[in-house]
Amino acid sequence: MKDLFNDKGFWKTTLKLATPIVLQNILISSFTLADTLFVSQLGDVSLSAVGMIGQWGWLLNMVLIGISSGTSVFVAQYWGVKEITKINMTCGIASLSAMIISGLFTIFSLLFPSTVVNIFNNNPDVVANGTSYLIIVSLSYPAIAITNVLSSVLRSVESVKLPMYVSALTTVLNIFLDYGMIFGKFGFTEMGIKGAALATSISAWVGVILILLVSLITKNILYAPLKNTLGFKISDIKIFYRKAFPVIFNETMWGAGTFVFNIIFGHMGYEYFAAITILRSFENVAFVFIIGICNACSIMVGKSVGKGKIERGIQDTKRFLFIFPLISVVIALITYFFRAEFIGIFNMGNNISDITLNSAMSIMAFYAFEFTIRQIPFLMIVGIFRSGGDTVTGVKYDLLTLWGLSIPATLIAVYVLKAPFIVAFAVMYIFEDYIKSIMCIKYYKSMKWIKPVTNEGIIGLNKYCKEKGINNGT
């Protein structure tokens, strides 16, 4: 406990890394929140339609997060030993992968927009609104994909300010364009829900252009000869995906699970989906602090493991495991006591139904209760296990708890027991998070998650295990 508070270097590095990431994610959340707030003034139908398309984009985003997280595993450890060429190569493989996946999503969205909306709800008004929104907003997917990868690389080499500044500019731009294009302000034509989609697409492309332009001017880690970035071999791709694929698969399956939940709730009624859309908007804001701390943990632990400083990496994880629940409790209390005020923001135009408002109040109350438990496996899987080089364990735990327990339990609750919306919502969380938390804590104590990808890391791990009398299987 004494070491926790006396290690000034830890706190200085944590604040240095986490603060810009938190600020960046606040800006990204504000980006999404602005869309939701402005669209909510158009009523439940528009709000639920945007929320449904948001979940389609969320599925893509989880794949992209998987690619970015897999990238971070390599880049953070390579950065520890300053293997710049390998960082450039990893960035190239990840960028190409992200472009291919996002391109497929865009093509499908343009060809079958109504099919996507019908997955969630077949109300004609919802389908019409969702279709018009998706056709335009899907054009932003490739830009979002590239931004995800490039931001991940920059953060992993401790260059966290550029993504933050770009997010600030694009958020301001999006809010300006949202207000102007949705309601016909600032000389723009009133476009309603189409205006929200166009604002998002324009802002997303401006963001990726800014990152590339600044990187070209400042010659940062992203500035590299094409032979370093795209000159990778098949063997390099295999090495990357040997570690990255489990992470990509993990995030994709988790995103797909969330997708299934939203299909279930969407068919219970678009009002319930509108309530979930409000909750997700709040969650995106609340979660930024969790993501900031988690990313700082990932960078610091990954760097230590890559350099072979295993003891230092383990000590840092213990410190993060101490401060993480404290932050989660504070957020949970704010969620519970101020949920009415937050929900009220979405009803400034008095166009939201009582069903949506009451449902949002109920699920936010439960979410506040569950928030702290939910963050334990998130920190361990994303912030600790992956940074240590273990990209497989999280897949196993998510498959078991999400697909093996939570989804079947929710389906039974809704379609067999005919449970009310709030009960089904609670079942979804309880069957996943509590069991996964226990499994993660047990695995963390085993230290089996330390699996370096650098030679220095492997040497350091062997030395650590020899000193501690641990059999690491090598």
Nearest to 55 by CA among 358, 265, 331: 265
> What pLDDT sits at residue 474?
47
Mean pLDDT of 141-147: 95
Q: What is the pLDDT of residue 60?
A: 92
Residue 468, pLDDT score = 82
Q: Cβ distance 199 to 138 under 8 Å?
A: no
Buried b (16+ CB within 10 A) or exposed e, 365-390: ebbbebbbbbbbbbbbbbbbbbbbbb
Query: Over the chain, what is the mean pLDDT?
Result: 89
Q: What is d(CA 322, CA 472) in angstroms, rounded to the nearest whole number? A: 26
For 360-386, write each residue's pLDDT tens digit: 999 999 999 898 898 889 899 988 998
User: Is 113 exposed, middle or buried, given 0-12, 13-18 or 19+ CB atoms closer than 10 A?
Assistant: buried
pLDDT in tens, 423-458: 999 999 999 899 999 999 999 999 899 999 889 999
Which pLDDT score, from 0 to 100, does residue 40 have?
85
Of the candidates 250, 342, 209, the one whose C-alpha atom is nearest the C-alpha of residue 63 is 250
In this prediction, residues 171-182 reach a mean pLDDT of 93
pLDDT of 411 > 70? The answer is yes
Show me where the domains of the chain are located.
Answer: 2-464
Burial, 470: exposed, middle or buried (Cβ in 10 Å; 0-12, 13-18, 19+)? Answer: middle
pLDDT band at 227 (very low <50, low <70, confident <90, very high): confident
Spatial contact of 472 and 461, defined as CB atoms under 8 Å apart:
yes
Residue 179: predicted pLDDT: 93
pLDDT at 380: 93
How confident is residue 473, by pLDDT bands cut at 50, 70 and 90?
low
DSSP state of 41: T
pLDDT higher than 60, residue 2 = no
Q: Please measure the distance between the N-terminal and C-terminal CA atoms of the chain and give it in whole angstroms.
A: 33
211-215, 241-245, 414-418: least confidently modelled range: 241-245
Average pLDDT, integer, range 307-328: 91
